[in-house]
Amino acid sequence: MAADTGFKLTYATMFNPPEEFHTHFEEALARVKANLGKEHGMIIGGRERYSAEKFEDRNPANTEMVLGIFQKGSVQDAHDAIAAAKKAFRDWSRTPWQERVALIRKAADLIDQRIYEMGAVVSLEVGKNRTEALGDVAETADLFRYACQSMEDHHGFIVEMGRDPLPGFLATNTSVLRPYGVWLVISPFNFPCALTGGPAAAALVTGNTLVMKPASDTPWTARLIAECLRDAGLPDGVFNYVTGGGSTLGQALIEHPDVAGVTFTGSYDVGMKIYRDFARSAWVRPTILELGGKNPAIVSRHANLDDAAIGITRSAFGLQGQKCSACSRVYIEAPVYDELVEKLVTLTQKMKIGDPTDRSVYLGPVINQSSYRDYQNFAEELHQAGTILTGGKVLTEGEFARGYFVAPTLVADLPLNHRLWKHEMFVPITTLARVQSLDEAMQLANDVNYGLTAGFYGTPEEAQWFFENIEAGVTYANRPQGATTGAWPGFQPFGGWKGSGATGKNAGGVYYLPLYMREQIHTLIQRL
Ligand code: NAP
Ligand code: MG
């Protein structure tokens, strides 16, 4: 993006973009706002598909604003999408990988061309501030390109193996990675672009055909990705886009025997259910699960406290605490506890809350009524059990009245055995603890079912100790840009350990694409 200025948007660089970035965003936002309330179909086998029942996509910052009308896909729609993908598999899987790479690169270019419109939709649909929203879209284009690059770097994953020493014969052995078939991508609301598009590109470039189902809170963003794939010229049926309820349409997709593999990104509970349901089949099918987090930051007595304070508040409250990588727990060594907590409270109180499309706003609303209620219940529980240092309340005055706005919340004095130290709240609430040593902090940090991201502030030697001992897939030390958030493809491949992820290999990383393929050995013998 913005190649003319030399600026590259990532989650680490996004805090101070050039001025033209704002102008483009505002122009695109005006165009998008002039086109609200339209009906959008599903795309099955290259055709628009409308169903009897519809649902509304509303803006969480202003629930009176209907963004679009979407299809409540049925079980039949799920079956039809799978059938269309199955039919397209033969040709697509036999298309030379270089041609698939070229098409996915073309789709990435279309994402770049449409980035401001897509960013405006993400901002309206998710409630993301404008830089976060544009980041989600830019990340998607980079994930597309990373998948293409990975295919090229590995020469299509075709490897000559050794030749058996057979007198009188010439043996050639070749290892090839081949696609599985119909691949299902089910994505969450919080990064609707990158977490639909990233797995979709990986599945497609490796030769699988695709059915994608976005979260019901964010169907529009995923539709725009589908349009980039369509406009890039992918053949009919190679990608299919369906919308509708997780427990109805989503469940029907999971239960279908013609689905060869799945990438699910979302909550632990739904992910584990999918894992179990998906296992009820004639053989084991690949299941890529990217699940929740309960991401800790540990702060040593030797830390730069200004870096720690800014990094922690950014990661705690960016996207209203609704990142899987959000920093939701902080363990601080006693000698610096009071000083750091004071800085954290000051920074938190300065964060501007409001309409997320506004350039000065850092925090938008939470995603829906259910999250809004969760926040209130957690705040009440934490008020009883600990000390709310700042926040703890929903915001209802003036412009806040029409959306799901809540105050970013810091909590101290919560007993270390309290359940909310281990539960992913997924709202802007972070709990702070005073610890006597780094060893105590590490023991607490690892004592959860999750292991997604983690952050540390201290000396370089302590940082090495942190990397060795922390149980998490993405770890950062001394990062003011974000204690636990802000991974970018090619720089920080993203994935979780333990209850945070199934494969132990990170998305946007060197080991990712092979997850979408199965190995076949070709042995050919010729008589000499
Ligand atoms: P969610 O409630 O688990 O939903 C995720 C997706 O699953 C949605 O598309 C949902 O559809 C669908 N779904 C629900 N029940 C289903 C079923 N029985 N069968 C098939 N699909 C079903 O998650 P969310 O609230 O959207 O997202 C937040 C969660 O995602 C958090 O836990 C967060 O940590 C996690 N997350 C993880 C990562 C990562 O990379 N590890 C990244 C981002 C988010 P409906 O919307 O229609 O219900
Ligand atoms: Mg949900």
Indicate if 324 belongs to the active site.
yes
Residue 339 reports pLDDT greater than 60:
yes
- Strand residue runs (E) in 348-408: 387-390
Instruction: Report pLDDT digits (tens) over 222-248.
Output: 999 999 999 999 999 999 999 999 999
Instruction: Report pLDDT digits (tens) over 449-479.
Output: 999 999 999 999 999 999 999 999 999 999 9
3-class DSSP string for 12-74:
CCCCCCCHHHHHHHHHHHHHHHCCCCEEECEEECCEEECCCCEEEEEECCEEEEEEEEEECCC
What is the rounded distance in angstroms from the CA atom of residue 517 to the CA atom of residue 501? 19
Helix (H, G, I), strand (E, B) or coil at 102: helix
CA of 216 to the centre of ligand 1 (A): 10
Residue 165 reports pLDDT greater than 80:
yes
What is the rounded distance in angstroms from the CA atom of residue 511 to the CA atom of residue 157? 12
Classify burial at 139, counting beta carbons within 10 Å of its beta carbon; exposed 0-12, middle 13-18, buried 19 or more: buried
pLDDT for 249 = 98
Instruction: Report pLDDT digits (tens) over 180-213.
Output: 999 999 999 999 999 999 999 999 999 999 999 9
Of the candidate ranges 17-31, 261-275, 319-333, 344-358, the one whose mean pLDDT is the lowest? 17-31
Are 133 and 120 a contacting pair, CB within 8 Å? yes
Helix (H, G, I), strand (E, B) or coil at 9: coil
Q: Percentage of the chain with pLDDT > 70?
A: 99
What is the rounded distance in angstroms from the CA atom of residue 451 to the CA atom of residue 459? 23
Six token digits for residue 134: 């544009």
Instruction: Report pLDDT digits (tens) over 77-131.
Output: 999 999 999 999 999 999 999 999 999 999 999 999 999 999 999 999 999 999 9
pLDDT for 5 = 65
Unique residue bearing structure tokens 């994953």: 157
What is the rounded distance in angstroms from the CA atom of residue 492 to the CA atom of residue 473? 10
pLDDT for 526 = 97
User: Which listed residue (117, 132, 290, 424) is catalytic?
Assistant: 290
What per-residue string of b and e applies to 8-18 under the rule 16 or more CB within 10 Å gives b? ebbbbebeebe
Q: What is the 8-class DSSP label of residue 162?
A: P
Indicate if 468 belongs to the active site.
no
Q: What is the 8-class DSSP label of residue 522?
A: E
User: Which listed residue (132, 324, 327, 333) is catalytic?
Assistant: 324
CA of 266 to the centre of ligand 1 (A): 3
Ligand index nearest the alpha carbon of residue 499: 1
CA of 384 to the centre of ligand 2 (A): 27
What is the rounded distance in angstroms from the CA atom of residue 364 to the CA atom of residue 97? 42
What is the rounded distance in angstroms from the CA atom of residue 76 to the CA atom of residue 240? 14
Q: Is the CB of 426 under 6 A from ligand 1?
A: yes
pLDDT for 4 = 58
Global confidence as pTM: 0.97
Distance from chain centroid for Cα 195: 4
Domains of the chain in sequence order: 3-289+505-524 (3.40.605.10), 295-487 (3.40.309.10)
Compute, in degrees rounded to 10, the torsion defined by CA atoms 467, 470, 475, 479: -80
Six token digits for residue 276: 């179990």
Six token digits for residue 153: 């770097």
Ligand 1: which of 291, 327, 374, 497 to mutate, most ligand atoms within 8 Å of CB? 291
Helix (H, G, I), strand (E, B) or coil at 410: strand
- Average pLDDT on 307-329 reads 98
Instruction: Report pLDDT digits (tens) over 382-421.
Output: 999 999 999 999 999 999 999 999 999 999 999 999 999 9
Unique residue bearing structure tokens 């122009």: 27
CA of 267 to the centre of ligand 2 (A): 8
Classify burial at 444, counting beta carbons within 10 Å of its beta carbon; exposed 0-12, middle 13-18, buried 19 or more: middle
